[in-house]
Amino acid sequence: MALKPEKPPRAPAYEAPAVQKAFELLAMVADSAEGLGVSELSTALGYSKGTIHGIAQALLKAGVLDQNPQRKKLFLGPAIVELAFKSRSYRRTIQQAQPLLDQLRDRVGQTVFLGMLSRSRVMIIAAAEASNPLKISSPPGTSLPVLAGALGKMFLSQFDDEKALQLIRSHGLTPYTPKSITDGKTYLEELARVRREGYAVDDEEYLPGVRAVALSLGNHRGLSLALWAVGFAGSMDRQAMPGIVREVLETAEKLKASLQNGH
């Protein structure tokens, strides 16, 4: 029997350390609400200031990062959002979702958002703004803290209590308003209610005078999606909230079916 010639050993895969460092830097900047400087990034990531400065300059030139000229803080640049919205996956999702968002907006009279969950932020990818002169308004591309208000409850409710507590300790429960829940035990009780009822409510916990209803749409084409309606407390009072919740839940089911059928 003839022996098969031995295959030459595979060369080790090239790991592109500069690319890995760039993504670590971007993830760190994305997690910061106030931007980060070169020194802060150097300390947090364990790389020299020269290395961080070189990577940051390349990303600034490409528009992937932006910089506050006074404080020298680094933020995510417009190229990140532009690249995301050029994706066919994003465009198809938005095209399928927009008519349903518009219909929900018309039925509840509030601004409606579709967002994508990332590591520690939620990015708005589609919106249907209320027609009232006084309304909540945020354009696609705007990002919010993932643990803010109803979105935070909806996000954490997908995990068991142990994992939820780990994430709470990691991100912290920020007291955005006097009504924000900052006690871990109370927050877990609220998560139990969200799991039981299938939606989360923000009662002026993220912005004073603003209420919201949010729920998860699950994962679609690799995107973890959320739907929420937002309005001023005066128009989202105790009488209006049950109807708004019902409409959001019904739209969520239609939206999930539409996205699933449209692949």
For 142, residues 6+ apart whose C-beta sits below 8 A from its C-beta are 123, 124
Query: What is the arithmetic mean of pLDDT over 201-218?
Result: 94
Q: Which of 115, 125, 111 has its CA nearest to residue 212?
A: 111
Residue 121 gets which letter from DSSP? E
pLDDT at 221: 63
Query: What is the arithmetic mean of pLDDT over 102-127?
Result: 87
pLDDT tens-digit series, residues 3-56: 445 555 555 554 568 899 999 999 888 777 578 899 999 999 999 999 999 999
pLDDT band for 142, please (50, 70, 90 cuts). confident
pLDDT tens-digit series, residues 163-190: 889 888 878 899 999 999 999 999 999 9
Backbone angles phi, psi at 76, to 5 degrees: -65, 140
**CB-based burial, 111-142: b 16+ in 10 Å, e otherwise:** bbbbbbbeebbbbbbbbbbbeeeebbeeebeb
Query: DSSP letters along 45-97, please?
Result: HT--HHHHHHHHHHHHHHTSEEE-TTT--EEE-HHHHHHHHHSHHHHHHHHHH
pLDDT tens-digit series, residues 54-113: 999 999 998 888 887 666 888 877 676 666 666 666 677 788 889 999 999 999 999 999
